[in-house]
Amino acid sequence: MSKYSETAARWIEQKTDRVYPAPLSAESGAGYTLQMKLITLNTWGGRVGDPFLDFFKKYNNVEVFLLQEVFHQALERVNFMFEGIGGRMNLFDELCEILPDHQGYFAVAQSEGWGLASFVHKKITVAEEGDIFVHRSKDAMIETDGKTLGKNIQYLKIVSQKRNFTAINFHGLWNGGEKTDTGDRINQSKKILNFTKSLSGDFVLGGDFNLLPTTKSLKMLEREAGLRNLVREYGVTSTRTSFYTKPHKFADYVLITPGIKVVDFKVLSDEVSDHAPLYLEFE
């Protein structure tokens, strides 16, 4: 067993699952107002610091947050991509404190404390929450090679006064190269499509896809599932911030089923990551 495996084993053995204020049950009859706000953001591990945390205080009236690259009581092993200014290793806990009116859900990709997080306002009923892997598997990372991470999608089935829908949080695979089509990315999209076929009702799929707009991997999600790509539809020219200095300024998307009525969609100007927050208001 490697030193990383030994440390991880001790961490997993000692760690107790934290219980945050319980979500409302589907039987409670609670729901939400007919309009809802959602933000998706790759957090960049929270490395921007206080301005990043202040962002959530500013937008605490948003009902649903879909977040990628989140640490949760993390070990240094998963701090692999944050050289210089490191990520916030207890980021999930910090967000739970900042958003006391929201229920936090963490979907583990790597057991040392790396994964996806969603926050849903407690006035909303989440009937079911879970995740499935669409690339490799849980704890797939070899040593500290981020290119070998498993990739999961996190889903939350939400009960509405008007209708049910599912929010899906996605962080696409990163291979260290361009955000172009590969066999792995095509297979990843196929697995997402297979999952969405199991859903009843409308859904919102948001996150950092790590894909360019021209890729087949993205277009097959649009065409085969009949989804609206709001980044394309609204003529967005970049989903990155000034922290990101490389070319190809696309990575993040929000895809919706036709039954979702858009009230507003925009890229927020707040620079709290190398990814821009995407804001959706819908019915």
- Check which CATH number belongs to the domain holding 69 and give it: 3.60.10.10
- Cα distance between residue 125 and residue 29, in whole Å: 8
Distance CA 55, CA 93 (A): 16
Between 8 and 183, the more confident residue is 183
Helical axes 50-58 vs 91-98, angle rounded to 10°: 40
**pLDDT number for residue 99:** 98
Of 47, 65, 155, nearest to 101 by C-alpha is 65
pLDDT tens, position by position, 270-281: 999 999 999 999
Domain residue limits at 46 = 3-282
Q: Which residues contact 240 (CB under 8 A, 6 or more apart)?
A: 249, 250, 251, 274, 275, 276
C-alpha torsion 243→102→166→46, nearest 10? 20
Query: What is residue 121's predicted lDDT score, i.e. its pLDDT?
Result: 96
Exposure string of 123-136, with b = 16+ CB inside 10 Å and e = fewer, is ebbbeebebebbbb
DSSP state of 65: E
Residue 85: pLDDT band (50, 70, 90) is low
- In the predicted model, is pLDDT for residue 14 greater than 70? no
Which pLDDT band holds residue 11 (cuts at 50, 70, 90)? very low
Q: Which amino acid is at 37?
A: K
- Does the pLDDT value for residue 144 go beyond 50? yes
Q: Give the pair of three-digit tokens for residue 71.
A: 């640490």
In this predicted structure, the answer to whether residue 152 has a pLDDT above a threshold of 60 is yes
Band the pLDDT of 156: cuts 50, 70, 90. very high
Helices (H), the chain: 3-14, 50-58, 91-98, 183-197, 216-225, 230-233
What number is the average pLDDT over the span 51-69? 97
Question: Alpha-carbon distance 211 to 220, whole Å?
Answer: 12
Task: State the pLDDT confidence band at 79, using cuts at 50, 70 and 90.
Answer: confident
Q: Select, from the ranges 6-10, 159-163, 210-214, the one with the highest average predicted confidence (pLDDT).
A: 210-214
Contacts of 218 (CB under 8 A, 6+ apart): 189, 209, 211, 212, 229, 253
Report the alpha-carbon distance of residue 215 to residue 253 in Å, rounded.
13
Q: Would you say 31 and 161 are in contact if contact means Cβ atoms under 8 Å apart?
A: yes
Q: pLDDT digits over 206-225, tens only?
A: 999 999 999 999 999 999 99
How far, in Å, CA of 80 to CA of 146, rounded? 7
Calculate the average pLDDT of the chain: 89
**Total tally of structural domains belonging to the chain:** 1
Phi, psi of 228 (to 5 degrees): -90, 125
Give dist(CA 212, CA 242) in Å, integer.
Answer: 18
235-272 per-position pLDDT tens digit: 999 999 999 999 999 999 999 999 999 999 999 999 99
Which residues lie across from 116 on neighbouring strands?
Answer: 107
Confidence of residue 84 (pLDDT cuts 50, 70, 90): low
Distance of alpha carbon 141 from alpha carbon 67, whole angstroms: 20
User: At 108, which amino acid appears?
Assistant: V
Task: Answer for the pair 168, 130: CB distance below 8 angstroms, yes or no.
Answer: no
Mean pLDDT within 157-170: 88
